[in-house]
A and B are shown apart, each in its own frame.
Chain A
């Protein structure tokens, strides 16, 4: 063996070549790459819309684009970012790649369904892009009736069909994850040995499968109302204008947790690895994920405090919304406690994680403002809300996504990314983000309503700050795009476990072989067995799967 030049090791990337081998693959790791390409594409499309929005808001007169164009811009920004980037981002890329490996399985339970999910996602994206190309849609991503069902003259039906189709992708992904976690765990991989990343995705999948169908039928009814003149939401016939909002938020509030729960899972992995400690209060963090998934379905009415909803219903929803803050707080405290007496290093993924904790804390606390009835009346539908949910969805979810991509990049590609550049990008993103969105809290309390194309001149200074921050943020997002692609070819070879991390994914080669494990591992340890000598799974045939 040592006399001849060893043939390169077989792994999932070089097992076969050609476009067909990728487009027809059923390997969860390759499907993760397909998703990575898809969500990156939509992220930059959505970012393009955001850039135009921020440019427009530099001046109060609304002189860059027409009102109609501006309305289409924020609608398309919301639709692409939420349905085509944030919701699939972590689950479909990192979840797809990691869940089977983390539980010691060869693939997801339904690999062909997994590939179908990606095609469905792309098909939905195609519909939405077609709607954008045909002239766009101007209803806001919330599609409130009767504006969306009767009054808007834009391509509402085409867009909602796109979202409906993509919804199926979410449902099938969630179904796949739940079945996989239930039936395909390796021997010894008990529920309380699962990495918290898996718990978080299990919780997310519950929301996928029970929430998504409601938005699907709701948007279908809107499309039927536009296309066939059904009269389900039509106030002219006696339709209730709040019914749509109930149905819409029944999904769309839990959807916020679809975006943040997987991020929380990523952060748990990262904090543990870079402080070399088991996550403090493992079971509390695990159950808080499930708690969030269930409670998230009980709070949607806090989007409707000023909508004409009954006072009593508003009070119930306010109380329940307060409760959902608790599991989030538990997580933040436990992550912070994990750092205590750890061995903390500051690689780029850790910088993202620490940024995440800070920004998520701010995003979560401002959520309490919005859950509180008295204050929400004033800040509802203002820039305060915009700032709040961007702290959650961008400050937290995107930070976690980027942190996760950096952390598992060596596993996915076998290469290291350039560390100094990555740290720089993480810091730029953190600063740019705060400059963009912090002024919006102030703007919101001042009373600047959201979705305003023209605004009173006294709000200009804060808007200019926000736009300046957005340009910094844009640089921060472009940097990883460039150096990560660069590293695919020129990055240093990573090796099996560059972070000295614990977990089954670090016990197999980078990049992993197609079947992940040569022999099914026998798990004997809890997750995050840092500080435990030689903690790793037992591989019955003797050797771990490394070559």
Chain B
């Protein structure tokens, strides 16, 4: 048995095969995720076409400053995640742990800002349901907008929370010295996941926060 046999699971022939399988597996999973969010994007598109005025008006009730800051925070976290993958590839343990920690911190900041926004919406009675505060002829469609707002950002936040869990596991493994130049697949594929969650937000940001600004 050669050394490389120690680094891969029994069903694989070698580490390269195992790496390829994990890499493809994560991409297939992300394809699934595209369709998962795609269902909501479709609903949003249909209603935005039906009720442009209501969507513009409702969108303008979101806090664009916080939204933009959050976009920047998430992009920065993608950057640190990319650096984490690079550190893992180079076998640099300390920078890897630092980058992963930084990514987690930025993710937490994002969630903190997001929940601040949720709280604001709660105070302003913009949460759909019996307590919805808007009235007037546009109120129905505005409630639909806020339903999408909460469903889409909520699903996104859920993915962030799962991502934080995965990053925690990575940090634990990294501290135990599990990753090396030869074996760093988990860092790489969880990196893919994190970037994907970033991409979803890149689309959510203009659709939710920006659609009505020019009509203000």
Question: Contact: B151 with A110, CB < 8 Å?
Answer: no
Check A210 against B141 for contact (C-beta < 8 Å).
Answer: no
B124 within 8 A of A: no
- How far, in angstroms, from A250 to B155 measured CA to CA in the complex? 20
Query: Is A421 in contact with chain B by the CB < 8 A criterion?
Result: no
Query: Of A218, A231, A520, which one neighbours B147 at CB under 8 angstroms?
Result: A231
Measured in the bound complex, the distance between the Cα atoms of B40 and A247 in whole Å is 9
Closest CB-CB distance, A191 to chain B, in whole Å?
Answer: 16
Residues of chain A within 8 A (CB-CB) of B129 are 228-230
Q: Which residues of A contact B140 (CB under 8 A)?
A: 231, 236-238
Which residue from B32, B46, B128 sits with its C-beta under 8 Å from A230?
B128
Q: Which of A179, A247, A250 has the most chain B CB atoms closer than 10 A to its own CB?
A: A179
Residues of chain B from 109 to 147 with CB closer than 8 A to chain A in the complex: 128-130, 140-141, 143-144, 147
A428 to chain B, nearest CB (A): 41
Expressed in whole angstroms, the minimum distance between the Cβ of B25 and any Cβ of chain A is: 5
| CB contact between A229 and one of B12, B47, B128 (< 8 Å): that residue | B128
Q: Which residues of A contact B13 (CB under 8 A)?
A: 520
Write the nearest CB–CB distance from A32 to chain B, whole angstroms. Answer: 15
- The stretch of B16-24, B94-102, B192-200 in contact with A is B16-24
Residue from A111, A220, A238 with most neighbouring chain B CB atoms (10 Å) = A238
Interface residues of A in 215-249 (CB under 8 A from B): 216-218, 220-221, 224-225, 228-232, 234, 236-240, 243, 246-247
Distance of A228 Cα from B127 Cα, bound (Å): 10
Contact partners of B51 in chain A: CB under 8 A: 238
Q: Which residue of chain B lies nearest to A217 when distances are taken between CB atoms in the complex?
A: B39
The contact of A243 among B32, B33, B43, by CB within 8 Å, is B43
Does B28 lie within 8 Å of A214, measured CB to CB? no
Asked if residues B143 and A237 are in contact (CB atoms below 8 Å), the reply is yes
Q: Mark A415-445, 1 if CB is under 8 A from B, else 0.
A: 0000000000000000000000000000000
Within 8 A of B (CB), among A65-96: none
Chain A residues, Cβ within 8 Å of B130 = 229
Which A residues touch B128, using CB under 8 A? 228-231
Q: How many residues of B contact A (CB 8 A)?
A: 39
Set of chain A residues within 8 Å of B155, measured between Cβ atoms: 217, 220
Q: A213–B151 contact, CB under 8 A?
A: no
Does A106 touch B at the CB level, under 8 Å?
yes
Which residues of chain A have C-beta atoms less than 8 A from B10's C-beta?
A: 106-107, 515
Tell whether, in the assembled complex, residue A110 and residue B144 are in contact, meaning their CB atoms are under 8 Å apart.
no
Residues of B close to A9: CB separation below 8 A: none
For B12, the chain A residues whose CB sits under 8 A away are 109, 184
State how many angstroms separate the Cβ of A501 from the closest Cβ of chain B. 25
Q: Which residues of B contact A213 (CB under 8 A)?
A: 32-33, 35-36, 38-39
Q: Which residues of B contact A110 (CB under 8 A)?
A: 21, 25
Shortest CB distance A387–B (Å): 31
Contact B25 A214 (CB under 8 A): no
0/1 string, B142-158, CB within 8 A of A gives 1: 01100110110001000
Q: Are A217 and B17 in contact (CB under 8 A)?
A: no
Known: A175-B25, A213-B32, A214-B35. A109 touches B43 (CB 8 A): no
B63 at the interface (CB under 8 A from A): no
State the CA gap A413–B96 with chains docked (Å).
49
Q: Does A105 contact B (CB under 8 A)?
A: yes
B105 within 8 A of A: no
Given A182-B24, A183-B17, are A224 and B151 neighbors across the interface (CB < 8 Å)?
yes
Contacts of B32 in A (CB 8 A): 171, 175, 209-210, 212-213
Contacts of B65 in A (CB 8 A): none
Contact present for B143 and A214 (CB under 8 Å):
no
Nearest A residue (CB) for B38: A214
A107 and B35 CA atoms in complex are apart in Å by 28
Cα A237 to Cα B50 in complex, Å, equals: 12
The reply on B203 being an interface residue by CB < 8 A is no
User: Given that A213-B39, A232-B43 are contacting pairs, would A109 and B21 also be in contact in the complex, using a CB cutoff of 8 Å?
Assistant: yes
> Which residues of chain A are near B29, meaning CB under 8 Å?
171, 175, 209
Q: Which residues of chain A from 181 to 208 have any CB-CB distance to chain B below 8 Å in the complex? A: 182-184
Residues of chain B in range 24-71 having any CB-CB distance to chain A below 8 Å: 24-25, 28-29, 31-33, 35-40, 42-43, 46-47, 50-51
User: Cβ of B39 and Cβ of A240 under 8 Å apart?
Assistant: no
> For the complex, is A178 an interface residue (Cβ under 8 Å from B)?
yes
Contact of B20 among A108, A183, A209, A232 (CB under 8 A): A183
CB atoms of A232 and B28 under 8 A apart: no
Q: Kindly state the separation between the CA atoms of A479 and B140 in the bound complex, as whole angstroms.
A: 57
Given A106-B11, A179-B21: A232 in contact with B35 (beta carbons within 8 A): no
- Output the nearest chain A residue to B142 by Cβ-Cβ distance: A237
Q: Which partner residue on chain A sits nearest B139 by CB separation?
A: A237
Q: Report the minimal beta-carbon distance from A475 to chain B, rounded to whole angstroms.
A: 41
In the complex, are the beta carbons of A108 and B36 less than 8 A apart? no
From B21, B40, B46, A240 is in contact (CB under 8 Å) with B46
Cβ A232 vs Cβ B151 within 8 A: yes
- Give the complex CA separation of A234 and B38 in angstroms: 20
Cα A541 to Cα B173 in complex, Å, equals: 39
Most B Cβ at <10 Å: residue of A176, A183, A515: A183
Is B148 a contact of A240 with CB atoms below 8 Å? no
Complex contacts, B148 vs chain A, CB 8 Å: 232
Partner of A183, one of B21, B40, B47, B50: B21
Contact B39 A178 (CB under 8 A): no
Please pick, from B17, B24, B31, B143, the residue contacting A231 in the complex, using a CB distance under 8 A: B143
| Apart from A178-B24, A178-B28, A247-B39: 5 A-B pairs, beta carbons within 8 A | A106-B10, A109-B25, A175-B25, A183-B21, A240-B46
A-B contact pairs, 28 of them (CB 8 A): A105-B11, A106-B10, A109-B12, A109-B21, A171-B29, A171-B32, A178-B24, A180-B21, A182-B21, A184-B11, A184-B17, A213-B33, A214-B36, A214-B38, A216-B36, A217-B36, A221-B43, A221-B151, A229-B128, A229-B130, A230-B151, A232-B43, A237-B144, A239-B47, A240-B50, A243-B43, A247-B39, A520-B13
7 tightest CB-CB pairs across the interface, nearest first? A229-B129, A213-B36, A237-B140, A107-B11, A217-B39, A230-B147, A213-B35
Measured CB to CB, the residues of B under 8 A from A are 9-13, 17, 20-21, 24-25, 28-29, 31-33, 35-40, 42-43, 46-47, 50-51, 128-130, 140-141, 143-144, 147-148, 150-151, 155
